[in-house]
Amino acid sequence: MTTQPFMGDALSQRPRAKHNKFKAQGVSASTLDAVRVDVSDNLQHGSYTSTAMPGTEFERMRRYALVLAKWSYSNIHKTARSWKTAPHFVEMANRIVANKQFADTFRDDPSIDTIYTKPYVSALTSGNITPELISATMSLLGTTAFDQIVEAVSIKDTETAEALRSYGDHIREYMGYYHDNANGIHSDSGRKRRQAKDYYKTLAHYGENTYTQARRIADDRAARRMARRAAKPGEQQGAPITKVVTDDGDKVRRTDRVVIPLSDYADAMWQKPYLAKHELVLPHTGMAGRRLIATNEGKYPKAFYRIVTDPYRRIFKRKTRALGGVVVFDCSGSMGLSDDDIKAVMRASAGCSIVCYSSDSSDAHNRRYGNIHLVARNGRQARHLPDFPGGNGVDLPALKYAYYNLRLNSHSPVIWVSDGQVTGEGDHSTFELRTATRKFIRSKGIVQVETPDEAVKLLHKLQRKAQS
């Protein structure tokens, strides 16, 4: 290990005793989560697992091993039994404290180039929630890796991501008030050591509560899935609607849509969201979508006729990058949108995904016909627009579905055509509903416009920018 002022006294600041001396148990750690420290509480030496390889990321892991040795609570298995929790959560508390101490000391993030987030995301979204998985995830709290994991999980599993984020915020708030108590782990004062013990114990129980919440979410989702499978074929949610008859005739054809519940975006404040996936039979390509354009460079000529018609003789073709945008329509009665208004925006947004939403006061109606309608995607659009009952009900679920499920890439814009009025259960509007919606569109950079004309102008502007 390289000698640094902090490293020189990282271990010596503990009370001088034989059990506070450490010997190497292994030097083969390749990631930050493989770094291990075991502080003994008897007369035996402690042990650590780190790495001796050269490189910035390995130096970061060696530093982390020393910080972890200094700030870890002793003998996690015995401590876990006395705290009536699992050893994973005691180790989690040690690492959360070490993360903050590492950042404060080195002004560095220990997870940079040392943590692979994909295995965490894959495990969290698989539904197999275990104490080891949650404690390992929460052990990264205070690093950019934790934020990246939560953001990636939220794309597929909003409820689990929200549980991780919520308890992470609780822990950060608690640490903001009481983190100085962690210094008592090195103190000769019995009172300060008890304060340090209570501090670490509380962090461990926060982790246990996170697991309980995540496990409940996974169990509830599994129960809903089993209930849907057990439903009778004629009443099964998600079965195609055989026939929809409207005032002006057979506007929506048979088997024109399939309705599925969006359980991941359900919330007690809003009406239950049901997604109607329409049959997309018409082309919806254009300047906003990926298309072929003429060029004078390429491998295989595809337009020989341009030798005569094009002064630049651009006989090759290449594909442009898709804008990948999403337009979300508020089709409630307060908007007063006509089919022509929506179709005008759809023509201007060719290549984008289009979502329309409007909810009925009856859950049975929403469950059968849907209250969030996907009418355009991947260069195709629905033959007819559905009839909208006129209520809001699912403003935020529709925006979340559009943002997390329909964008082609992280730079794809999301446009919300709405007057900003939102309602939830019973079509009632509350301060909490408005606040939650405003917070989401601001944090995700969603652009709100109030009229279709504004949406058309904005789409043309974005298309010109994408093509430049």
Question: pLDDT per residue over 7-57, tens digit each?
Answer: 333 434 444 444 445 555 555 556 767 666 666 555 455 555 666 667 787
What's the mean pLDDT in 357-374? 89
Flag whether pLDDT at 205 surpasses 60: yes
Burial of 309 (0-12, 13-18, 19+ CB in 10 A): exposed
Q: Which residues make beta-bridge pairs with 51?
A: 28
What are the pLDDT digits (tens) for 316-341? 776 655 566 888 999 888 777 777 77
What pairing do the DSSP bridges indicate for beta strands 316-319 and 380-382?
A: unpaired
What's the mean pLDDT in 174-193? 86
CA distance 374 to 278: 6
CA distance 130 to 124: 9
What are the pLDDT digits (tens) for 87-105? 889 989 999 999 998 888 8
pLDDT-derived band at 217, boundaries 50, 70, 90: confident
pLDDT-derived band at 137, boundaries 50, 70, 90: very high
Q: What are the Cα distances from residue 415, in Å, to 122, 230, 321, 327, 379?
A: 30, 39, 19, 5, 18
Q: Which residues make beta-bridge pairs with 283?
A: 380
Q: Please, which residues have CB within 8 angstroms of residue 381's CB and are 6 or more apart in sequence?
A: 280, 282, 283, 284, 346, 354, 375
DSSP state of 126: T
pLDDT-derived band at 5, boundaries 50, 70, 90: very low
Phi-psi category of residue 370: left, alpha or beta, with phi > 0 → left and psi -120 to 50 → alpha = left
Give the orientation angle of helix 131-138 with respect to helix 158-178, to 10 degrees.
Answer: 50
Residue type, 66: L
C-alpha closest to that of 79 among 253, 240, 265, 204: 204
Q: What are the Cα distances from residue 296, in Å, to 287, 302, 350?
A: 20, 11, 26
pLDDT-derived band at 345, boundaries 50, 70, 90: confident
Write out the E strands in 308-392: 316-319, 326-330, 353-357, 372-377, 380-382
CA distance 120 to 214: 14
Q: Residue 247's pLDDT is what?
A: 39
Query: Domain coordinates of the chain in residue numbers?
Result: 5-222, 244-288+323-467, 290-322
Q: Give the least confident one: 60-64, 84-88, 301-305, 397-401.
A: 301-305
What's the mean pLDDT in 229-234? 58
* Residue 274 dihedral angles phi and psi, to the nearest 5°: -130, 125
Residue type, 73: Y
CA distance 393 to 443: 21
Report H helices in 370-408: 395-405
- Please state, for a pLDDT cut of 70, what percent of the chain lies above it: 77
pTM comes to 0.48
Flag whether pLDDT at 440 surpasses 60: yes
